[in-house]
């Protein structure tokens, strides 16, 4: 057992205190954790109890950092896990943070996918959107549910991109083939491009060469 001989607020971070046991520096913990556990000068503490308090402080520190992270942009669960791993947090701490975020609905991969798809549907096709979401850790079943729904139709987006692309170009079959390749590169599907360009009477020019 050891005795707490000093509890000192850090100069650089007022939310943390330096803990001294038997007149020697021991560790740094959150003030909140210190108060919750009634740690003060004279407190007798075992090594096991100290380890519990340090783990508690680490979990709350990690949670606070993640709240700051997601306040600027929503993150998927995988992105949060990767962030915490890169910061060197233990698996138990990561599990605690993820569980707490899910409990308060502060991460939601399905809603993230909906927002991402709607934001990028004017510039990227379904295939690129899907790849981006997969890289961010959203499950394929969630992605397919959203992108295959009737609400997610990119016909107008393809037509607008096609009109913008052809605005400064001549109406030659070659330029329409370049348009087709441009739209494919954006991640739009062959059949969706074909359907959208047919409505704009553009597909026949593409089909002459393809």
Q: What is the pLDDT of residue 176?
A: 83
Please give the average per-residue pLDDT across 85-95, as a whole number. 94
Reported as a single tens digit per residue, the pLDDT across 22-81 is 999 998 999 999 999 999 999 999 999 999 999 999 999 999 999 999 998 899 999 999
Whether pLDDT at 86 is above 90: yes
Reported as a single tens digit per residue, the pLDDT across 123-171 is 999 999 999 999 999 999 999 999 999 889 999 999 999 999 989 888 8
Beta sheet of 44-45, edge-to-edge order: 24-30, 16-21, 2-9, 44-45
Q: In the block, which residue shows the tokens 């138990």?
A: 92
Count of H helices and E strands in the chain?
11, 4
Q: What is the pTM of this model?
A: 0.79
Best mean pLDDT range from 48-52, 131-135, 175-179, 198-202: 131-135
Domain ranges of the chain: 2-103, 109-147, 155-207
Query: According to CATH, what is the number of the domain 2-103?
Result: 1.10.10.10
With residue 107 as reference, give the H or E element that holds it: none
């Amino acid at each position: 057992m050891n005795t707490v001989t000093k509890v000192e607020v850090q100069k650089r971070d007022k939310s943390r205190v330096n803990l001294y046991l038997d007149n020697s520096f021991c560790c740094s913990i959150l003030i909140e954790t210190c108060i919750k556990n009634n740690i003060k000068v004279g407190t007798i503490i075992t090594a096991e109890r100290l380890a519990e308090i340090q783990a508690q402080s680490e979990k709350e520190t990690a949670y606070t950092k993640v709240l700051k992270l997601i306040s600027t942009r929503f993150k998927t669960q995988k992105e949060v896990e990767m962030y915490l791993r890169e910061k060197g947090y233990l698996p138990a701490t990561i599990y605690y943070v993820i569980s707490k975020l899910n409990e308060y609905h502060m991460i939601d991969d399905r809603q993230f996918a909906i927002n991402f798809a709607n934001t990028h549907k004017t510039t990227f096709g379904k295939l690129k959107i899907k790849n981006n979401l997969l890289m961010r850790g959203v499950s394929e079943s969630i992605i397919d549910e959203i992108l295959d729904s009737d609400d997610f139709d990119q016909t107008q987006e393809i037509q607008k991109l096609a009109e913008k692309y052809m605005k400064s170009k001549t109406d030659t079959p070659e330029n329409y083939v370049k348009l087709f390749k441009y739209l494919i590169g954006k991640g739009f599907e062959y059949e969706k491009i074909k359907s959208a360009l047919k409505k704009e009477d553009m597909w026949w020019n593409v089909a002459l060469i393809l």
